Structure 1
Amino acid sequence: MEQQLTQIIHELYSLDVTPQISRPAAEFGDYATNVALQLAKQVGKNPREVAEEIAAKLRETGAFSEVTIAGPGFINVRVSGASIAKQLESEWSDTYGENNDGEGKTVVVEYPSPNMAKPYSVGHLRPGNQGWAARQLMEATGWKVITDNHLGDYGAPLGIWIAGFLTLSSEEALEKDGVYELGRVYIAMKKLLKEEAERGDTTLADQVQDWLLKFEAGDAEAVAYSQRFNTISLDHIHNVMGRLKISTDYELGEAFFAPKGKAAVQKLLESGVATQNEDGSIIVPLDEYGFDVPLLVQKSNGAALYATTDLATILYREETIHPDKVIYAVGSEQQFYFSQLFAMAKKLGISTDLYHLWFGFIDQLNEDGTREKMSSRKGVVLMEELLNDAEEKARAVVEGRDVSDEDVKKIALGAIKFSDFISDRRTNILFDWNTIFALTGVSGPYVQYAAVRVNKILRENGHGNSFDETYDYTAEKDVIAKILGYPEVVHRAAAEIEPHKVANYLYELARELNRYYEATPVATGDVTPEVRDARLGVLAKASHIFAHGLNLLGIEVPSQM
């Protein structure tokens, strides 16, 4: 309908517009558009008159069983089941839902970027989920996608880990508990540093800074500690990422870029883009971009900062990858920093589209019913613990059924991930065990169950006929109409990098199928073979959509539930 409307509007008014199509309440029709109201001012006519002209042309196509006008100029149309089934068949392919919007373009997606030498925390759940979904959406819309896990393996934390290990730990403890010992040391050392600062002492702080400067100077002992901690951390990170079913092409961390960043800062100084303060620190003024606060790119003691390594990362990618777009999957708390960073890039003449894919926090529900950001004081904050707990709860949900351990893991991960995509990513999400495993509401298991159910029907009865000219598809009309909307959902979700649009669509498709099952037998009772095969053909397309859509979100379809 969108294509037909576009052609009609061009024919009538010589305007190129993309009309918005919606699904109104059933009593008004199958599809609706308010394009006449949008065009009225441009063409100098009453909206109702514009609607009449467009409606007349729509009737002439013969594609609609009814075209009516409501209110000031809303156009409502009805279609027959057979006509939209034929339309779906003409558009169908193994890659249905995908497009070439990004053809010839390259995008770098950066995620989940955890810090080294401490356990993978729930704080990096959303960067991994949202980053992976962005990757999948970009790939589904024709982009060449390169992914990078920008590891936090440099800066003050490294000095804290080395000084902390020597002060608070031992070889035996590190050998026994690995990354969890490093995490314990980091937290304990941060506490000691805070207490020291309150006393006006700098002994430990000086040790931390000394180790960092040693590492930057290539000191063999400092480099050896860094490599050892990194090996322990990477093994842990890779294990957790494997359980989350996410991966990246590269793992170029901050340590890789720090020397390049310092060299880049010197060039900024020489070119006059950056200035040096009296204390030796180096800043990039951004007044022309509306920032009163300059971006600090190097400390007074010469140490690198996030901005130093991020500057080097941008320049490195420009030189080696030449991306058209870079997506940073990082939380909302870094919005100001990234706006400064991107302004600096513009000041350097970089035209690449740098995009901060930000998102809200993960909230937890307290006993008194209030919400607060998930913290170490309450609930689970380690990713491995969260996954273990989710798998135990998934086993409880399917207890007594023939469900494999592999499927239990798919259900557990589906519940966790789908909860991240229920709402717009910019909102905080509420992590509630009772809600995310619900089989009757907006949840991953609800959608997975719908997919498992349709797959079971197809397994037992075959995939039927893709399209039958002799069948009217009246009972299937709403399901087919929903399936026809999938490519546009993917297009918009990718264009706006909003994966929740896919999640909401899949939930709606699951509900539509449940309504269909309640009213329509597929392969039981007195259903004829011809009708059965036509209906199975529609279900086969729904099965494809479930698998494809859930895959965009990094969720797998279990074989049993």
Structure 2
Amino acid sequence: MNKVAEIINQIIYQQFNQNVEVNLTRPRPEFGDFATNIAMVLAGKIGKKPHDIAEILKKELENNDLFDSIDIAGPGFINFKVSAKHLSEILDKEFNDRFGSNNEGEGKLAVIDYPSPNMAKPYSVGHLRPGNQGWAAKQLLEFTGWKVITDNHLGDYGTPFGIWVVGFKRFSSEEKLASRGVYELGDVYIKTKAAIKEQGEDSEIMKEAEKWLLKLEQGDEEAVAFSKMFNEISLKHIHDVMNRLKISTDYEYGEAFYAPMGKEAVQKLLDNNVAVQNEDGSIIVPLEEYGFDVPLLVQKSNGAALYATNDLATLLFREKEFAPDKVIYSVGAEQQFYFSQVFAMAKKLGIKTDLYHLWFGVIDQLNEDGTREKMSSRKGVVLMEELLDKAEEKARKVVEGRPDVTEDDIKKISLGAIKFSDFASDRRTNILFDWDNIFALTGFSGPYVQYSAVRVNNILRKERDFSVVDFKSYDFEEEKQVILHLLEFPNVVKVAARDMEPHKIAKYLYDLAREMNRYYEKTRVSDSNDIDKSARLQLLKKVSQTFQNGLNLLGIEIPDRM
């Protein structure tokens, strides 16, 4: 596909002295293999009619033996067909183990912030999407030449810390904590929040919780000991879940790490007249010049830190420590306004780094009456470990009666189903978590795509001892649609990375799986003659590698058996 665009680019430069990007699309097969509207794009630049430009391009393209036919449609669309043999040769030249990758981000550095769960409470389904989307962003950027640093911005500070201490003292014990770990801390938090709601935000419990936060900020020995105890329990749990999700980060600079820097940064903002102290002692950063009537609160009236305090410190630390070209925050849609304020504050401070909020919708589930509602504890599974356990149970049923499928295969199938469902549509939409659909072996699902990849690999495994013969005479006409689809992959990766839209990779892989199913319906591989088999096996190796590269971008592994 790049070769085709390159030839058209050369002709355009020779005929019109213009450097323009030629975008190729795939029309319906009866119209051609590729189409372009470049004649209409050029018309506005050089003052000629699109149809006249298309005629000139058609005449030049007909002189190149790469093209079988060229047709002009409408005011200036150009449709053309390329022989399957030529397409196969183009694919051979472009293909390697990192097929689809590019160097668009070479020399650039990105910091990606994910999954950033809160400490001292069980890892919830609410952090499934931050982890999945953040990991996919990392994979996409690295595959397109970026250097990537990842940071798990742990919620190990703030008012919740005080709530856990107060709750632990009132509702729990060291024995319970030793027995139930993070799940005990989760229950303590819920009980304490319920007590605060019952008694009001100005209750003694809330005041006591805020005192504990201040104690921690002041380095109080007992507060520090509580923080250390909660963190050790929480981190083990978080790491266990992240390992099951097959995600990791380079750093884990939690909010507690940034807290001292946050206070210093706020003071500097005051000293430089960027921030303003209100009569009650609270400190704000006015943002009217960036269209915000509401200022950003960076410190409470009692001197306590806020999310914005720590995010200010985080911005400044990353600038100094990493000097990134881009910082990506993988955080849900509900934080859009907050991050737009934080980014405006960064501009006010003169920070030039591209700050990007990789936001996404919530996870919905179906009620008994068929309506959709955000997944919650009242309706079933919300803890990540429970979700993963249930997914593995579902996967076992999918492969029931298959003794050759290993426990490792089952884990890959279950996790693949969950992750693929996250990329089923544009990340900005809410996703519907439906157990039957995400484990379906037909339709838009992880197992469907994984099964297609496994099927290709099984054929290659079965034929690994086959001696390849010379297949130069093979015309590849039966494989043409598969080859055309493979040639699309590099551009799909390019667009998905540019727009931070991994769902485009998922859609591509699903379409490739469908194309392979159509191919198997009309074409034999293992029981064909040696020339045909040799050609087809070489193409299947490319299909296998493309499945592997694409699924890897989504954090999904291919099982050995299924």
Tell me if TM exceeds 0.5. yes
TM-score normalised to structure 2 length: 0.97
Cross-structure match for 1:121: 124
In the alignment, structure 1 segments of 5+ residues that lack a partner are none
**Given that residues 26 and 35 in structure 2 are in contact (C-alpha distance below 8 angstroms), is that contact kept between their aligned partners in structure 1?**
yes
- What whole-Å deviation, never above 9, does each CA across 1:425-467 have from its counterpart, x for those lacking one? 0010000001000111010000000000000000011287599
Q: 1:464 to 1:299 in 2, by over 3 A?
A: farther
Identity of aligned residues (%): 65
**Given that residues 165 and 226 in structure 2 are in contact (C-alpha distance below 8 angstroms), is that contact kept between their aligned partners in structure 1?**
yes
In the alignment, structure 2 segments of 5+ residues that lack a partner are none
2:177 to 155, 167, 174: 174
- What whole-Å deviation, never above 9, does each CA across 1:497-529 have from its counterpart, x for those lacking one? 1111111100111111110110110121xx211
* Pairs within 5 Å for 1:447-462: 447-462=449-464
Which segment drifts farther, 252-261 or 32-41? Answer: 32-41
1:45 to 45, 48, 51: 48
Cross-structure match for 2:319: 318
Report whether the alignment pairs 1:276 with 2:260.
Answer: no
Q: Distance in 2 between matches of 1:500 and 1:465?
A: 37
Q: Distance in 1 between matches of 2:14 and 2:295?
A: 53
Cross-structure match for 1:207: 208
Cross-structure match for 1:148: 151
Alignment-mate amino acid for residue 220 of structure 1: E
**Given that residues 464 and 535 in structure 1 are in contact (C-alpha distance below 8 angstroms), is that contact kept between their aligned partners in structure 2?**
no
Alignment-mate amino acid for residue 373 of structure 1: K
Aligned length: 557
**Given that residues 464 and 534 in structure 1 are in contact (C-alpha distance below 8 angstroms), is that contact kept between their aligned partners in structure 2?**
no
Task: Report how far residue 469 of structure 1 moved.
Answer: 2.6
- What whole-Å deviation, never above 9, does each CA across 1:155-184 have from its counterpart, x for those lacking one? 010000001100111111111111001000
Q: Distance in 1 between matches of 2:336 and 2:556?
A: 28
Report whether the alignment pairs 1:559 with 2:560.
Answer: yes
Task: Report how far residue 60 of structure 1 moved.
Answer: 1.9
Report whether the alignment pairs 1:534 with 2:531.
Answer: no
Alignment-mate amino acid for residue 285 of structure 2: V
- What whole-Å deviation, never above 9, does each CA across 1:382-410 have from its counterpart, x for those lacking one? 00000000000000010001210110000
Q: Distance in 1 between matches of 2:431 and 2:5?
A: 34
Q: Distance in 2 between matches of 1:464 and 1:168?
A: 71
Once superposed, which parts of structure 1, at least 4 consecutive aligned residues long, lie more than 3 Å away?
463-468
Cross-structure match for 1:523: 526
Alignment-mate amino acid for residue 43 of structure 2: A
Cross-structure match for 1:137: 140
Which segment drifts farther, 34-43 or 505-514? Answer: 34-43
Q: Secondary structure at the match of 2:170?
A: helix
Report whether the alignment pairs 1:9 with 2:12.
Answer: yes
- What whole-Å deviation, never above 9, does each CA across 1:63-115 have from its counterpart, x for those lacking one? 11011111222111111110000001111122211111111111111100000
Q: Secondary structure at the match of 1:283?
A: strand
* Pairs within 5 Å for 1:64-83: 64-83=67-86
Cross-structure match for 2:497: 494
Q: Distance in 2 between matches of 1:23 and 1:172?
A: 65
Alignment-mate amino acid for residue 333 of structure 2: S
**Given that residues 364 and 431 in structure 1 are in contact (C-alpha distance below 8 angstroms), is that contact kept between their aligned partners in structure 2?**
yes
**Given that residues 332 and 359 in structure 1 are in contact (C-alpha distance below 8 angstroms), is that contact kept between their aligned partners in structure 2?**
yes
* Pairs within 5 Å for 1:408-487: 408-462=410-464, 468-487=471-490
Q: 1:334 to 1:187 in 2, by over 3 A?
A: same
Report whether the alignment pairs 1:223 with 2:219.
Answer: no
TM-score normalised to structure 1 length: 0.98
Q: Distance in 2 between matches of 1:268 and 1:311?
A: 10
Q: Distance in 2 between matches of 1:468 and 1:137?
A: 35
Q: Secondary structure at the match of 2:25?
A: coil
Q: Secondary structure at the match of 1:363?
A: strand
**Given that residues 123 and 383 in structure 2 are in contact (C-alpha distance below 8 angstroms), is that contact kept between their aligned partners in structure 1?**
yes
**Given that residues 89 and 467 in structure 1 are in contact (C-alpha distance below 8 angstroms), is that contact kept between their aligned partners in structure 2?**
no
Q: 1:467 to 1:44 in 2, by over 3 A?
A: farther
Task: Report how far residue 224 of structure 1 moved.
Answer: 0.4
Q: Secondary structure at the match of 1:476?
A: helix
Q: 1:140 to 1:482 in 2, by over 3 A?
A: same
- What whole-Å deviation, never above 9, does each CA across 1:111-166 have from its counterpart, x for those lacking one? 00000000000000000000000000111111111100000000010000001100
Which segment drifts farther, 486-495 or 449-458? Answer: 486-495
Q: Distance in 1 between matches of 2:95 and 2:148?
A: 25
Q: Secondary structure at the match of 2:506?
A: helix
Report whether the alignment pairs 1:334 with 2:335.
Answer: yes
**Given that residues 468 and 530 in structure 2 are in contact (C-alpha distance below 8 angstroms), is that contact kept between their aligned partners in structure 1?**
no
